Chains A and B, each alone.
Chain A
Amino acid sequence: MNTNYQSNLFFSYMRRDLLIAFRRKSASLNPLIFFVMIVALMPLSLGSYESRLQQMAPGVIWIMALLSVLLSSESLFDEDYRDGSLEQMIITPNLLFMVVLGKITAHWLTKSLPIAIASPLMGLLLSISPESIFSLMIGLIIGTACFSLLGGVGAALTVATKDKSFLLALIIMPLYVPIIIFGSSMIYYRIDGMYWSYPLAALLSIFCMLTILSPLSISGIFRSSMVE
């Protein structure tokens, strides 16, 4: 199989999932609306003191972005598994790596990236200073990609189980720890006036590692456990 064919595979699966997402607009908008609503609820529980909000806001936004992606990653392979097309993807002699990567990219573009793009607005609502908003958005763009990649692993592991959503959250949350730490450090570094490229570099290296390891392990999981 030549590289051209494999990149075609990647793009065709990405296009397929994007098309499905565009045809079902309400389902694709859900994570974004959830994110906006739950962040808007935070000042009501924390109190509207600007100094307190400023301190909590970056962490709150990161945790809420994590939750929104986590909720949507359950649906990554769920429908394909139920209507049998996942099985077809596994048994065809295609490179499963590219198929999985295409599906995850589509998931990131439709469900996770809107959250990162909406984050500057939410940051302003929670009175983060405009200068540090950029580091929040950059961090969330990379961070949500990591969330989607890892969420794919969780979705692959739990796709055939009974109580998916709870289990998915349970097994994936511990793996999110480094992403949360480096991601939220970026903006806290920026707020404290430190050089924030160090956590950015750490986050990027995690992202690069996940781009290779996550589709690899997902295809491994599918090949070994789905085909009986």
Chain B
Amino acid sequence: MNWNWFHKFASPKWFYQISERILPGLCVVTFSLLFVGLIWGIGFAPADAKQGNSFRIIYLHVPSSFLALAGYFLMAIAGAIGLIWRIKLSFWVMKCAAPIGGILTLLALVTGGLWGKPTWGSFWVWDARATSMLILLFLYIGVYLLGRSFQNSDSGDKASAFLSIIGTVNIPIIYKSVDWWFTLHQPATINFTSAPSMHPDMFYPLLIMIIAFYFVYGLALTLSLRVEILSRERKTKWVRKLISQQ
């Protein structure tokens, strides 16, 4: 099998050049999806029968929770690829994914709290999902800080790749244990596990928002990866040439 494409894809220079070409298109798609999804969800979707208009925060809460989890697995997979095939670009993807994922987890927690206040009467409930999200935030913070506390940034990359892989092994265990702990203590006031079936008028804008958040994630990752490439490759010829041209 011809592996040339693989190594080409792993070259920072190639990525920098190709991302420059797709960035305008990516921006247009991202912002139009966000625009359509938000306007539809906040302005036109019908109000919920029980919760009224307060349910509309779902259009931020669900997509950000989705991406917070998906982003962790992306980060761990990128770290594993970096460790196995020794690809530096993959390490940098992992490094850039940590703060983005952390911010999305924080957003999910904050919107969840804001949603919880009118619905259940409190900003925070120690239930399985909220608690696991909080622990996920701690894991993200750990990966972020560990990667930046090494003098040699290459060993920082490897250490945080290991931590993110260890975290991935742990996430299901943590989730199961917290879930069990929650059922043990039985507050039993809320039940979020059985999601009510949604009306299509509410569901389509949600779907659009989820897709839009995937694009937002991709855009944020691409932008920060480009900065990371420039700063890590600042001593190479092509970056110097690029800077002297501008």
Contact = CB atoms under 8 A, between A and B. Distances in A.
B162 A158 contact: no
Contacts of A181: 177-178, 180-181
Interface in A196-210: 202, 206
Nearest to A178: B177
A157 B162 contact: yes
Interface in B169-199: 169-170, 173-174, 176-178, 180-181, 184
A226 B122 CA distance: 48
Contacts of B181: 181, 185
A2 interface: no
Contacts of B163: 157, 171
B99 interface: no
Interface string B138-153: 1101110110011110
Given A178-B177, A224-B83, A167 B162 contact: no
B149 A167 contact: yes
Contacts of A174: 135, 138-139, 142, 167, 170, 174
A153 interface: yes
Nearest to A179: B177
Given A177-B135, A177-B174, 12 more contacts: A157-B146, A158-B149, A160-B155, A161-B149, A161-B159, A167-B146, A173-B138, A178-B176, A181-B177, A181-B180, A224-B162, A225-B158
Contacts of A153: 166
Contact of A170 (B83, B138, B176): B138
Contacts of B83: 224
Interface stretch (A46-54, A124-132, A213-221): A213-221
Interface of B: 83, 135, 138-139, 141-143, 145-146, 149-152, 155, 158-159, 162-163, 166-167, 169-170, 173-174, 176-178, 180-181, 184
Interface residues of A, number: 28
20 contacts: A158-B146, A158-B149, A161-B150, A170-B141, A171-B145, A173-B138, A174-B138, A174-B142, A174-B170, A178-B176, A181-B177, A181-B178, A181-B181, A182-B177, A213-B169, A221-B158, A224-B83, A225-B159, A228-B152, A228-B155
A175 interface: yes
Interface in A96-129: none
Contact of B178 (A161, A177, A224): A177
Contacts, number: 78
B80 to A, nearest CB: 11
The 3 closest A-B pairs by CB, nearest first: A171-B142, A178-B177, A225-B158
Contact of B174 (A157, A178, A217): A178
A162 interface: yes
A175 B145 contact: no
A213 B169 CA distance: 10
A40 B181 CA distance: 28
A47 to B, nearest CB: 23
A33 to B, nearest CB: 29
Nearest to A225: B158
B164 to A, nearest CB: 10
A163 interface: yes
Central interface residue in A153, A163, A178, by most chain B CB within 10 Å: A178
Q: Which of B152, B167, B169, B177 has the most CB of A within 10 A?
A: B177
Nearest to A221: B162
A163 B150 CA distance: 10
A224 B143 CA distance: 17
Given A178-B173, A220-B162, A170 B145 contact: yes
Interface in A143-178: 153, 157-158, 160-163, 167, 170-171, 173-175, 177-178
A157 B180 CA distance: 30
Contacts of B138: 170, 173-174
A107 to B, nearest CB: 19
With most chain B CB atoms within 10 A of its CB, the pick from A174, A202, A213 is A174
Contacts of A220: 162
Contacts of B162: 157, 217, 220-221, 224-225
